[in-house]
Structure 1
Amino acid sequence: MRPYGSPRPSYPPVGGGPPVRPYGGMPHGGPPGYGHAVGRPPPRGLPAAGGSPDATSTEKLTTLFVGAIPAGIPDSWIEKLLKATGKLRNWKRVKDQSGNPKGFGFAEYEDPDSVLRALLVLSSETETGKGIVLKAMDGSETEKKLIVKADDNVRNYLDQYQKQRTKTSEDEEKDKEVQQAVNAIVEAIVEGRDPDEAGKEKDAQAERDEDIISKELSAFRERATMRDNDRQNNDRQWKNRRGSDDYDSKRRAGRYAGRQEFLRGPTEQISEQEDDEEDDEELERKRQEKHARDVEAAFRQREKRYESREAARLRNYERDLQHAKEDSEREERNRDYFAKRLAEWDDEIEMERGEELYYIDRSRWRKLREGVRRREEERDEEDRRQEAFEIEEERRRAEEEERMKLESTNVARQSEEVGKIAMKPTKLNFNLPIKRVANMGGAEDEDDEDEGSGKRRRVLVPLDYGDDLALDDTSNMDREERVRRVKELIDSIPSSEQELWNWNVKWNELDEDLITSKLQPFVAKKIVELVGVEEDELISFILDNVRRKSPPSDLVKELEMTLDEEALVFVMKLWRALIFETERKSRKL
């Protein structure tokens, strides 16, 4: 087993006492917490070998508490302030049940360097840190100094990290740059300006410029089209006038030839017409060139926007690759560090220090360990259930494919047999006697024929459609009837605790589809209302109890540690929802 990187933590079994060490300072079965041997817990504040436990996971060790946030300051500004100090992975501001943000939250960074820089720049508890002061934006003008703290586990982790890492001049330059960036953001927040306002104004100006260019191009095209139409109309009118005046022109040419030649020679008239034609061709050529330039400019604009989007997408992709690379390197460093740390673990030294909970309060450590083991078992059970489901799906798919192959083979064989059957010639006989059809009239004629023939009639058995009508009762039900029955079902479900617990739940109607589509959204919504955040582990724990058909009283006891007095009310609501969904499915409502 690897000392680091396994998806689940491997701790010593609950209740196991310290083993007898056969060699020196190494406990029996390897370093403490390593593999499945009985050993000691890992150092407090450091992730254990084989995975990261809940309380001391890598994410928890890079999480800071951010408090004293003045009222009215939005999350986006606080998030921008935190991002300026380092690689912020997640910023979660706590909200009350009505959705209003409270004055504190938790910032999770990707690496310990970012955590140290955030404490150095934002916190006033460090030796060199002065902290930052923000002003409320709810009209009260109250000024508060932002609180940025790290708990004991995080501080121990950072202290050990600083001992292994030497601070360089590049780190100091980076600290100065971060300090300047934070000061600029704080100045903008104090003055009531949005830190992202400049970027938004640039984007809005670019959009306005694009709109103006598009409108100008459209107007130019409309004017060009109108000029083309006017030119064509003028050409048609000129040709019509020229055709009607040909006769008069010829007659006047004979009469006033001398004077006409004196005033305007024939060469001048021809050259004027040629100039008009050349002007029209030149205008048409210029119009086409202008249109081509407009089309080219519009294409360049679209190409530029497309390249900008692709460049942004490429940057995001490269950033994700860089994050993945950094995570891999960090895991490798942690793996080496903890392998060495656990290999050098000495029970006597740790017992003398008295820092580990295992040596201080064994019963409390076992209690915490029980919760961790329970979650491990639940995840193992979920994995086994998922594996069984996948195996069943694969088996069903294979059976379906085999059935389809058999059907196709049978159809092909039948078609071949039908093709081989020889068609026999049909003989028509026109000398057969004509058979008279019995009268299809009333019952009296049938009685007469029965009496005359002396044959006994076959008794007709009436068909009973009672079962089919009972099955189709709900399918043919109209909407009003269905709504009425649903209301009756809701009214029939009890509201008291004892009656709910005594209700005979139809567990045979409960399947994974009903849990996923109906109960899981209900549980998630109620947990968010009670806790303020969506706890996936708590939701999975509740649904697993429902899958195991656990009694509601046991579920109340399990949830009292988390929900306190709200546990009973929550379980009663959950049980009412469970009864309603199973009864509704059973009654086909």
Structure 2
Amino acid sequence: MAPLPPRPRGGIDTSNTPHHGHSASPHPGYDSPYIRQSSHNDTRSPAADHASSSSSTLGPEVATTLFVGSISPGISDTWLTKLLEACGNLRTLKRASKAFGFAEYADPDSVLRAIQVLQGRELPSMGAEASAPPKKLLVKADEKTKKFLEKYQHTRVASSDDKARQSRALSAVNDVVRQMSDPHATVELDPSKPGYVVPDHLKDLPPEELPEDQRATVLSEIEQFRQVAAARDAETRRREAEYERQRAMERVRRENLQAAASSSSRNGRSTDDPQSYRRPVDFHSASSYEARIDAVREPEEADEIQEKQRQERKRAASRAAAADAEGAYLVRERQRLAHWEKEADRATAEADKWEQDGVAMLRRWQDWKDEYATRKELFYTDRQRWRQFRAQARRREQQADDNDRALEADEKLKAQEETNKFLAQQAAEMAKLTEQQRAAGVLVQQGGTLAPIKLNFGPIKSADTSEGFAATNGVTPAAAGATKPSNAVLGEADEDDQSKRTGRLKHIQLGSTMSEEERSAKLVQLASTLPTDTALIFAQTPKWEWVDEALIQSKYRRWVDAEIEESLGEKVDELVTVVIEALQAHREARDFVEQVEP
């Protein structure tokens, strides 16, 4: 987020002309106690009161960045900026994710006031996630900012206006939180998400389950059905809320009537009692009497009746939705049947035409007579005109042949493209499988190609090999030569092989032979070879194949949690989650630092 422009300051050498510049909030000065004039005409802001003193005494190392975490779901940057501006002169707000961000103030007084006012403040959830439970805001300073604030508090001279500024900031924050709790408060919707929750049974089907020629139609029908269902659910929820409100009002009215009746019974019969002898008995029609039956029902009985009515309305809505879906399905089926009937009629008409032409041609050649043809046929009477007619027919036939050839070539090209696509997909899958097997150690490099691991078992053939084997296993060459078998005679070779297979195997020691001192020296040597420059560290490419999920959860998560707790003074699960997700996604170092750095 870009840095905010400096806030206009009131007081000496400052006009009261309203500024129309941009601020961090879309409503400049909205609910902020530092721009609003009080009843005593105090227009000075806390940033203006200490700007000169802070700039002269703080020095170059000014750290005014705060970590803002545990943000309630649905709170946009606008509302968060209002809260932070209510505490002082906010310079920038960097929203790393929906759950946390970093705020930078222009002066340290605003930082101290923000920590005192906003730390632990319970914020409601907003927007589509308003049903989520509220969360307490976490406002913390890192080690650098904390040390700077401690030095500043030792050198700062307290003024009489500090409590007044803090009380104004507290009242402004309470006002903003009250507006956020209003269900009619403006909420910035995410354009990438729909304004309603899509149930699981209304989500899109996988593309492979839909035919290619009907995929667009099916998806459009699903989207229309989804919108209708969402609108119907919203109307049902609104109607139920209205019913609940009416029930609550009826319950309060009944309680008031009961309280009035009990008070009148204690004080004697009231003059407004309909059963009093001073008033005549009113006449009530049957319709009005039936309408007033609900007024004397017990609350449980009335609730049961209303629940039955709600269930009946729900069943009626389900039946209406089923009827609408059935009607839409019938319309689609009628259109499909009409299309195929039209195609069938066209094919039938074309077949009838071919049949009629064949019959006419057969009849013509059966009744053919040369004497008659030489006098009547155009081929004999007007050869030039016949050639013109024949040329037109040949052009039509040639055009039809060309169209058929082009269609056949297109079909062959499509088939070839589909074949190439399938082969490319198969090659990519085989390459991916080979890479996975190579990373797992199943395949090794042999002769320029990857081949499976082969284990060869056989006797020692040369003296050099036996000497090397004896030296490796701590056996003298003489003893190794003594154990070399002699040439077998007839069936003795099988017995020798059997004795080798059934002999005792040598125990192999698995583990490091390095002592603790050697191990420490090796670690120091490895650490000295690592680069110390930030640019060189960012240029390194990690070997992600050695970083698996188990290593991330067992080592990196605990280390990140400890470092964040050491920096902020307490654990922040949202920041740990961001770091772990970056490791799991194999992100680059620069992107990772830009996301978590204040």
- The TM-score, its normalising length taken from structure 2, stands at 0.24
- The TM-score, its normalising length taken from structure 1, stands at 0.25
